[in-house]
Amino acid sequence: MLQVSQLAEEFDLKVQGGHGGLSKEITDYSLKRPSAELFGFLTYLTPKRIQVYGRTELGVIQQLDESVRRERLAQVMVAEVPCVIFTRGLPIPRECIELANERNIPLLTTGRSTTQLFYLLIRYLTNHLAPSTLVHGVLVDVYGVGVLITGESGIGKSETALELIKGGHLLVADDAVEVRRVDEESLRGIAPRRIRHLLEVRGLGILDVTMLFGAGAVRDEKDIHLIVHLEEWQEGKMYDRLGIDPPPTRQILGIAIPELTIPVRPGRNLASIIEVAVIQNRLRSYKSNPIKELGLD
């Protein structure tokens, strides 16, 4: 759930009217610039979207005759609108303030340009309003690839992540990963705020990665491209030894992500194995397979 008050606080938006609507929920991550609607074309009004008014929209309002200005604005600033934002610190028409107060539509202002605000808001809203789930695991950025490490508790996920961080790779989340479906093909992993940049290693406790390795050793979010599942080595179980076929996939929020199962036993350097797995996965995307090229398939 995302309320207008949270959005205002996050982006330092000034409240100029409609204070009674600050608890409204934002449910649509798209934005609306209602230029055509102000001319009376209401077919695509989409009242559940945040309305953004820049210089173009203000120019349209100022061109309207005073006898129809409030009527047109009343057709656009309906009660369902979560909030209205004026960019560039533009002056707000009196009619907008009146309607905002009457209909409890938060009226917000920012000094940012309309283009900059659109970029920031769409990214923010996409993250916060996308379908999400919580996955037990560790998310790291290895060579620019988002790798989700999963496995039973105590298998060595955090220890492997620590080795990867020491090798110059980046931590995104440890223990719990908020996974969000940001579009039809992408999953984005984010660390819950209370454990962001923290890594728990048995015997050492909870480590602050930014304090130990610097701010360049972490990142707040990363798209997930590969899952590496760690499991105890099972005698007699058949593990892939040739790598001819593409790996199986795991469905998360309806999106299939390649998943490699890596058996764990003493002496195996899991961090190095994951680094090579990332490189091998990239090679697959380039249609390169050394086994087939050697004629061993």
Where in the chain does DSSP place strands (E)? Answer: 14-17, 31-32, 50-53, 84-86, 107-109, 132-136, 138-142, 145-151, 170-173, 176-181, 187-190, 198-201, 205-208, 221-223, 226-232, 249-252, 255-264
Which residues lie below 8 Å from residue 86, measured CB to CB, with a gap of 6+?
16, 53, 54, 58, 92, 96, 107, 108, 109, 110
Spot the catalytic one: 175, 250, 268, 282: 175
Strand partners, 150: 229
Q: Does the annotation count 157 as an active-site position?
A: yes
Spot the catalytic one: 69, 72, 112, 157: 157
Q: Does the annotation count 175 as an active-site position?
A: yes
Q: How far apart are CA 116 and CA 93, in angstroms?
A: 23
Report whether 240 contacts 289 (CB < 8 A): no
Spot the catalytic one: 237, 241, 265, 287: 241
Closest CA to 52 of 66, 65, 38, 39: 38
Q: Does the annotation count 48 as an active-site position?
A: no
Report whether 59 contacts 93 (CB < 8 A): no
Spot the catalytic one: 136, 166, 202, 292: 136
Which residues lie below 8 Å from residue 51, measured CB to CB, with a gap of 6+?
31, 32, 33, 34, 76, 77, 81, 83, 84, 85
Catalogue the active-site residues: 136, 157, 175, 241
